[in-house]
Amino acid sequence: MIVSSFAPPSAPARSSAPRPLAQPQANPACGPNDEICLSCAPSAAPNWKQLAVSTSAQAAAASAGPAGVALEQPLRMLLIGPPGSGKGTQAKIVDRFFDVPHISTGQILRQEIQQQTELGKAAEPYVKAGQLVPDSIMLPMVDNRLEKEDSFILDGFPRSIAQAQHLDQTLSRQNKPLTCVATLDVNDEIVVKRLLERGREDDTEEIIRARLKVYHDQAEPVMAHYQQQQLLEHIPAEGKVPEVGFNLVTRLNQRLDEN
Ligand code: AMP
């Protein structure tokens, strides 16, 4: 991978300098499977240090002090995983490591609903009912958001072959080929256990299993679509947060090296 100073051409709101990589630091509040502890991530998985020295990114990091990886080429990834697989957490690690914005369609919709924008009002009944928001709303929303970013981690989209085909066309039109489609693989029984332990009121076992079924029905054809394009990376995601993050970042590095 070639590295240079980081200046995302179409993301002016973000810092033009690489952000500091998480520094090893003991944090007593951080447990083994916690929500993210970015401070601990690199130290909790010793391989993080190895990763840093084994990539040419280290050259930039060394010369710039304790800086994050600065990419010359864009990183464009889709993140797929069941509820409770740690997508948000892993997206934060990738963002922290590569300085790439995390775009979550669920989050955008929740924000639009909260602000009661036209889009939010149109999407609200579907989101409240846990149904897919129609493509007539979703596709322009995603197109507009992607237009603003050269690099991105897209989470929550696509959820159907029709959305995947649309995304292919949009990215091809915008001349932004994907780097990778990463799936966080967690056994259903572990997801059920994790979500029950999280203890949210609406997380009964029955509801969790129903959400998992919807996830599999939606995600599997999408995964097959990207498998055909040789973009799919399966990341085992049953381990500890920093280990999963290490694997994910390593695979992304390899993909970038191959480009
Ligand atoms: P999430 O946070 O990804 O689980 O999304 C929350 C809700 O937003 C979903 O239950 C859907 O109602 C809606 N949503 C998010 N992404 C999409 C999408 N790609 N297509 C349709 N609806 C979506």
Query: What would the pLDDT profile of 100-123 be if each residue is shown by its tens digit?
Result: 999 999 999 999 999 999 999 999
Closest CA to 51 of 254, 258, 256: 254
Highest mean pLDDT among 14-23, 61-70, 89-98: 89-98
Atom index in ligand 1 nearest the CA of residue 158 equals 19
Residue 22, pLDDT score? 38
User: How far, in Å, CA of 78 to CA of 94, rounded?
Assistant: 12
Distance from Cα 132 to the centre of ligand 1, integer Å: 6
Residues 6 or more apart whose CB falls under 8 angstroms from that of 153 comprise 75, 77, 78, 79, 91, 94, 95, 100, 101, 102, 103
Q: Is 124 helix (H, G, I), strand (E, B) or coil?
A: helix
Which one of 85, 132, 167, 200 would you pick to mutate in the ligand 1 pocket, going by the greatest count of ligand atoms within 8 A of its CB? 132
Q: How far apart are CA 203 and CA 72, in angstroms?
A: 43
Q: Which residue has the tokens 């959820």?
A: 159
Mean pLDDT of the chain: 79
Please work out whether the CB of residue 138 comes within 6 Å of at least one atom of ligand 1: yes
Structure-derived torsion over alpha carbons of residues 18, 24, 30, 36, reported in degrees to the nearest 10: 20
Kindly report the pTM of this predicted structure.
0.78
Pocket test of ligand 1: the residue of 80, 127, 141, 212 to mutate, having most ligand atoms within 8 Å of its CB, is 127
> Cβ atoms within 10 A of the Cβ of 124, count?
17
Using the Cα atoms of residue 227, residue 214, residue 87 and residue 15 in order, give the sign of their dihedral: positive
Q: What is the pLDDT of residues 38-79, one digit of tens each?
A: 444 444 444 454 454 444 443 333 333 333 556 678 999 999
Q: pLDDT by residue (tens digit) across 194-219?
A: 999 987 777 889 989 998 999 999 99
Residue 171's nearest CA partner among 136, 142, 193 is 142
Q: Closest by alpha carbon to 87, among 104, 100, 69, 111?
A: 104
CA 6 from centroid of its chain's CA atoms: 20
Which amino acid would we find at residue 153?
Answer: I
Ligand 1 atom nearest the C-alpha of 83 is 4
The reported pLDDT for the residue numbered 7 is: 29
Would the pLDDT of 258 be above 80?
Answer: yes
Query: 119 CB under 6 A from ligand 1?
Result: no
Residues in the chain, overall count = 259
Chain-centroid distance, C-alpha 185: 13
Q: Quick check: CB of 126 below 6 Å from ligand 1?
A: yes
The three state secondary structure string of 54-79 is HCCHHHHHHHCCCECCCECCCCEEEE
Nearest CA residue ID for atom 6, ligand 1: 106
**Mutational test site, ligand 1, from 102, 103, 105, 170, max ligand atoms within 8 Å of CB:** 105
Give CA angle at 151 (149, 155), nearest 5°: 90
